[in-house]
Amino acid sequence: LVHADVPPGMSWQEFVARLERGDDDALQCAVESRDRIQSRNDSGVSGIGRVFVGHTVQWDGPRRLGNVFAIDTGAVFQELDTGRGALTIASLVFSTKSLGEGTAG
């Protein structure tokens, strides 16, 4: 689980190592980036089976980009009584293939 994203082209192992070293660019991406989702980059993240990210609302439902699953579907906006948004829950016992079925993008 990552709040926002893993830098495109970076392996999971390198990402974790950079975070552990306090690398500002890796931390910024983990907390703030929307690049992968906005560009619809489906290259995924090597070195790990799947990554779940949030931060960027997917109004049409969860989106799969390679092995990255964008699961923020705006639940907070329902709480704010805007009439939009839903809660998405992913069961980690499913295989990656099962998680990709029926997702947008």
Q: Are 8 and 36 in contact (CB under 8 A)?
A: yes
* Structure-token match 């609302």, residue found: 57
Kindly state the tokens that stand for 75. 């639940």
Residues 10-48 pLDDT 10s:
999 999 999 999 999 999 999 999 999 999 999 999 999
pLDDT tens-digit series, residues 49-76: 999 999 999 999 999 999 999 999 998 8
Mean pLDDT of 75-98: 76
pLDDT of residue 29: 98
Residue with tokens 């290259």: 43
pTM: 0.83
